[in-house]
Amino acid sequence: MHLGNVFSALLSFLSAHSKGGKWVLRIEDLDPERSRKEYSEMLEDDLNWLGLVWDEGGSKGGDFGPYYQSQRAKIYQEAFDKLVESKVNEQIATAVKSAEVSLDAALTERMQKLVTKLDENAKINLVKVVNKLNENHQAEIADVKAKAVKRINEMRENANKAIATLKESYEVKAAQEAEEAARKAQEAEYNIEFIGQTGNHHEDDHQKSDQPNQNIC
């Protein structure tokens, strides 16, 4: 041990014992080329010679081993995996939440655009669908939306049928009125022709009465 290591060991030894704790010797042997077993044995010999006797760790062992860092790789790997899993789960949760917010916003915007194009009754129904978007599952919302669209299509179809029926009724009535007008025109023409014929008969009778009676007995 060089003086820097001795000074650090003395400070940690005094600090641990002054607070009623235990002084633990941990061997940093993560570099296999520079951390040979004989080096750790020499380190323990130097500490024993200086009177800095450790309570646990090193070759002495203890209840919280292993105390050689090369033997703790599995523990560190498990801790690292938990940290990564926690971070990944956090990122997934954030992404899912962001996607849900974006989806809700997009659906809400689309529903509001549909609301502006329909009559007041359809608006009320579709607003209810928008409100239920935050309460029910997506499948239930899709079902309610489909029913609303189906109802609107039925209303439009019924309106078109009513318009067609009115148009047909109007055409039938117009045809009847035209037929009646033609009949009346024909009657008027007949009456005019009849009156003309009657006037001619009266004029012939008048001329005959004006001629002198040639039949003299």
What integer pLDDT is reported at residue 207 of this predicted model?
Answer: 52
pLDDT band per the 50, 70, 90 thresholds, residue 217: very low
Cβ burial, residue 46 (10 Å; 0-12/13-18/19+)? middle
Question: Where do the structural domains in the chain lie, given as residue ranges?
Answer: 3-67, 77-158
Report the b/e string of 4-23 with b at 16+ CB within 10 A: eeeeebeeebeeeeeeeeeb
- The 3 state secondary structure assigned to the chain is CCHHHHHHHHHHHHHHHHCCCCCEECECCCCCCCCCHHHHHHHHHHHHHHCCCCCEEHHHECCCCCCEHHHHHHHHHHHHHHHHHHHHHHHHHHHHHHHHHHHHHHHHHHHHHHHCCCCHHHHHHHHHHHHHCCCCCHHHHHHHHHHHHHHHHHHHHHHHHHHHHHHHHHHHHHHHHHHHHHHHHHHHHHHHHHHHHHHHHHHHHHHHHHCCCCCCC
50-59, 85-94, 120-129, 182-191 — which one is most confidently predicted on average? 50-59
Instruction: Give the lowest-confidence range in 46-55, 146-155, 206-215.
Output: 206-215
pLDDT digits (tens, 9 = 90+) for 110-154: 767 766 766 666 667 767 766 776 666 667 667 767 887 787 778
* Region 93-119 average pLDDT: 71
The pTM (predicted TM-score) of the whole model is: 0.36
pLDDT at 137: 61
Fold topology of 3-67: Rossmann fold (3.40.50)
How buried is residue 152: exposed, middle or buried, by Cβ count under 10 Å (0-12/13-18/19+)? middle
Contact between 32 and 73 under an 8 Å Cβ cutoff? The reply is: no
Tens-digit pLDDT profile for residues 172-188: 777 787 778 777 877 77
